[in-house]
Amino acid sequence: MTAPAKIGIRAVTKTFGALTALDDVTLDIADGTFLALVGPSGSGKSTLLDLLGGLGTPTSGEVLIDGAPVTGPGLDRGVVFQQYALFPWRTARANVEFGLEGGPLGKRERAERAREYLDLVGLSGFEDRYPHELSGGMKQRVAIARSLVYDPAVLLMDEPFAALDAQTREQLQDELLRIWRRTGKTVVFITHGIDEAVYLGQRVAVLTSRPGRLKAVVDIDLGDRAGDLRSDPAFGRHRHLLWELLHEEVEKAAETERSAVR
């Protein structure tokens, strides 16, 4: 018998009143995969991530983790949003420790663990800073450390680097890849950036414009990923394929809007 997929999305439909946000989405995500999720605005990306996080329930179909239905949020899944959502009155270390409170670890062990994860995201020496004393990139590193500290098998990320400048974004992309390789977690990463999807994803899932259906899943094969990946011809080919898939959807969404005002 083969092991169940780490994440199983089975015929998932989600409606909000008369609006269908997701329509019959089925996708298996194998353990340890880095999956990037792209789609036009309003295609249901965040809705899907919420369902994976247990923050919402499908109208029909089901979401499985290790073959068991998701019934709510859990420590097996860490979530990182675009906005840092840090507690302003807590230091970086105390923000990271938050994820451990109520768990089995004592105070000293929690502090030690928090320090270890701040180190993992490159923030050694900044443990006692408050959020207002940190740059945007540093705040997002704290948010990532906070979601990793309780060692979830799955990391759900909703445009986590969208608010950052290009240089910081590229730096954090590399750090995330390093952490992913080191920890072997299953990552689902929403982005609007085709380059970001190709750079990070082993696979890229493309949603259609509303209602969100699964249009394609593109496997990204960039060889040994050495050197300046973004200027590699294989990078360009993947990028172009995704651009075409998305462009069709954006055009379709615009046409629907035009006919709605006619």
Which residues are near ligand ATP by CB under 6 A? 16, 19, 21, 39, 41-47, 210
Q: Least CB distance from residue 159 to ligand ATP, whole Å? A: 7
- Distances 187 to 16, 33, 80, 143, 252 between C-alpha atoms, Å: 26, 6, 11, 15, 29
Task: CB nearer to ligand ATP: give 23 or 97.
Answer: 23
Q: Which residue from 95, 117, 113 is spatially nearest to 104, judged by alpha carbons?
A: 113
18: which 2 tokens? Answer: 């008369």
> Which residue number, 127 or 195, has a Cβ lying nearer to ligand ATP?
195
Tell the smallest beta-carbon distance from residue 250 to ligand ATP (Å).
11
Residue number with CB closer to ligand ATP (97 or 158): 158
Q: What is the closest distance, in whole angstroms, from the C-beta atom of residue 31 to ligand ATP in the complex?
A: 25
Residue 216 φ/ψ, nearest 5 degrees: -160, 155
Closer Cβ to ligand ATP, 41 or 60, answer by number: 41
Query: Is 171 within 8 Å of 202 (Cβ atoms)?
Result: no
3-state secondary structure (DSSP) of residue 24: strand
Provide the minimum distance between the beta carbon of 103 and ligand ATP in the complex, in angstroms, as a whole number.
30
Q: How near is the Cβ of 73 to ligand ATP at its closest, in Å?
A: 16
Q: Which is nearer to ligand ATP, 99 or 212 (CB)?
A: 212
Nearer to ligand ATP, 190 or 218 (CB): 190
Residue 44 falls in which region: left (phi positive, over 0), alpha (psi -120 to 50) or beta: left
State the nearest-atom distance from the C-beta of 249 to ligand ATP, in Å: 11
Closest Cα to residue 170, out of 151, 152, 195, 146? 195
- CB distance 128 to 92 below 8 Å: yes
H or E stretch at 252: helix 233-261
